[in-house]
Amino acid sequence: MSKLRGRRGVVVLGAVIAALALTILIALAVSANKSGRVEAWRGRRFGFGLGIASLVIGGLMIARSRPGQGHYWATVGILTIAALYIGANSYRPKAPQVGGRAKRIPLSLKGGTWNGKELEVDEQTIRVLKTEDIIMRRYDRGTDNVGLAVIFARGSRKVAHPPEQCYEADGFEVEQNRTDTFQTETGQRIQVRRLLITRQGVSQVVFYWYKAGDKNTPSFFWQQFHVIMANLNPFKAKDTRVALIRFNTHLRTREQVPAALDLLREFGRDIFPEIEAKLQ
């Protein structure tokens, strides 16, 4: 009975591999055909080869497996699934540049209620993040001011990283790190990470969140997950829009924390429509 179950498991695994291989072969063919270029078919040759080989292996597992060979076929099956993954992602066309999406966010918000000023972005930051679409600004509203940083790229997960790592590397102490929200003009609640950081006796309150396509999340894990899942889809080019949005304000005293939180929530409400419109 155990041998029968072992063969049944191999047959099921073989059927799964054959189904995956067939799906990936169809997906590669459809995506190459949509491109309409000979290079798209040539670039996918390796993927087609691994897909066909995997389809054959899946068929052999169904037809030729025998009781007592479960361990052998399980190893073959795992290696075949790994090969299918490599084949599905073997062709990576260069993603077209989307232009300065972050830089399209206007300096004047809400009819001049907020007025922004560009700050310099150093070359080291551009090299590390591997994107030039970065803005660093200061927005003023009367005596209030908020710093804004937006880092944007297409199909790259490197632009989005937890800001607290950079703050700590720059000598800040992260005293608080928790979830917060602000409400948009339409009533939508946007979740953010809220930091309270201090360096040399000067404190700041920071809000940040990530975008992965149309997803807004404060979680680095879920942002990375959304990008990975999008990049696994062979029907789509590797063009998922990825961004880190961060804004902050300085504190004179700790008693100002509640007022600072209200200020950042108001700024988030006012700039969110521009974030959504420009980072698509």
State how far the Cα of 272 lies from the Cα of 278, in Å rounded to an integer: 10
Q: Tens digit of pLDDT for each residue in 238-259?
A: 557 788 999 999 998 889 999 9
Note whether 83 and 53 are within 8 A (CB): yes
Task: Of 151, 145, 147, 122, give the one whose Cα is nearest residue 137.
Answer: 147
Which string of b and e fits 239-261 if b means at least 16 CB within 10 Å?
A: ebbbbbbbbbbebeeeeeeeebb
- The encoded tokens of residue 52 equal 């066909």
Rg (CA), the chain: 25
Q: List pLDDT tens digits, range 24-48.
A: 888 878 777 766 566 667 777 887 8
Least confident of 63-77, 106-120, 265-279: 63-77
- State which H helix or E strand residue 41 sits in: helix 38-43
Q: Does residue 107 register a pLDDT over 60?
A: yes
Summarize pLDDT for 120-129 with one digit per residue, the tens.
Answer: 988 877 777 7
Task: Give the start-to-end residue ranges of the domains of the chain.
Answer: 2-88, 102-278
pLDDT in the model for residue 98: 47
Predicted confidence (pLDDT) at residue 172 exceeds the cutoff of 90: yes
Quick one: pLDDT band at residue 157, thresholds 50, 70, 90? low
> Of 8-17, 73-82, 87-96, 248-257, which one has max mean pLDDT?
248-257
Tell me the three state secondary structure of residue 205. strand
Contacts of 39 (CB under 8 A, 6+ apart): none
| pLDDT given at position 156 | 59
The CA distance from 275 to 263, in Å, is: 18
pLDDT on residue 1: 34
For the chain, report the end-to-end CA distance as a whole number of angstroms: 57
